[in-house]
Amino acid sequence: MDKRTRPSTNPELERRIRELIAFKGGGDNEDLVTDLIEQALKLLHDVEDRGDVKVIQTAVRELRYAFKLFAPYAGKRKVTIFGSARTSPESVEYRQAVEFGRKIADAGFMVITGAGGGIMQAGHEGAGVERSFGANIRLPWEQAANPVIAEDKKLVTFKYFFTRKLIFIRHSDAIALFPGGFGTMDEAYETLTLMQTGKSQLMPLVLVDKPGGTYWKTWDKNVREHLLRNELISPEDLGLYHITDSVDDAVKHIARFYRNFHSTRFVRDLLVIRLKHPPSPTGLDALNEDFADIIAGEPFHVIPPTPDEADEGEHLDLQRIAFGFNRKNYGRLRQLIDVLNQY
């Protein structure tokens, strides 16, 4: 069905594009593809710099291929493992990442890494190639994919970090960070920023240190002493991440997040929360009282699948509650999910 509501500024061009789509056999999301082709054609006159057009061309090509690669595994939850490519196989952190990969895969998750060496290779060794994805990056010194994932069909290589990071976040249901360098810090802060601003789904973000290690505790101290103390973040934002030096605790923390909670979706002014078990009427009353500060509009209430969800066949077997969320306090929303997981 054509969901396009914006009238075309060039009906003749739209007609010809639709003829081209029909010539290619048609398919899903024809309205969006029509608009995408229109935008591409505007590049002929709107953007003169060839390098700028190459950025757009490469990004679209990489994302199309990556989405195609992940599509058959859409129903499988995935955990992305970040950490240094320089971590030695003899180190405690490497052995921990192997153990984490194995145990999180045994818990039913697939694993995504940057496909390089160090922590990335360790995660793949633990999970095994059948339960692994690799999202490699082309660097001036040619980062090669690690031998575990190098010949597997679930490996994709990117030119740009921004397309690679989009795929990591888009397809992750949890993220585990082991000690690393600037890249690991970048991945940690970008994940936190996207969750804090509502630009990604909330998910477990676990920072794993070696037993007795201080890498993430030192990082956390800086966050508390400089960001929190100076009111650059909110106290509830600290709940967006979890620090541990135990692999078992890291796995339990991720699994606990999905004990009852499944996912969220905005449907116009409502935030729909999908659950295995809804709260009781008394539980709803408690939510409306305890989380009144993030309600903007309708209070918490049980609903059936919305028409939008029903049309798309989206998790129709799950229970749902909905409320008018202020779209601002995502740290508090994470606290709400923790409460819902107690049901």
| Domain parsing of the chain, residue ranges | 11-71, 75-257, 261-340
Q: How far apart are CA 322 and CA 21, in angstroms?
A: 38
Q: Whole-angstrom Cα distance, residue 94 to residue 50?
A: 43
pLDDT-derived band at 9, boundaries 50, 70, 90: confident
Report which secondary-structure segment, H or E, holds 265.
Answer: strand 261-267
pLDDT at site 10: 85
pLDDT in tens, 238-257: 999 999 999 999 999 999 99
The fold of 75-257 is Rossmann fold (3.40.50)
Q: Residue 1's pLDDT is what?
A: 40
> Residue 302: beta bridge partners?
321
Q: What is the pLDDT of residues 171-210, one digit of tens each?
A: 999 999 999 999 999 999 999 999 999 999 999 999 999 9
- At 238 the pLDDT is 98
Nearest-angstrom CA–CA distance, 287 and 278: 12
pLDDT of res. 140: 82
124-139 mean pLDDT: 96
Structure tokens at 58: 């490469």
> How many whole angstroms separate alpha carbon 41 and alpha carbon 45?
8
Amino acid at 24: K
The C-alpha atoms of residue 36 and residue 59 are separated, in whole angstroms, by 13
Taking the C-alpha atoms of residue 213 and residue 70, their distance in angstroms, rounded to an integer, is 35
Of all residues in the chain, the percent with pLDDT exceeding 90 is 90
Radius of gyration of the chain (CA): 22
Q: Residues 6 or more apart from 42 whose CB is under 8 A from it? A: none
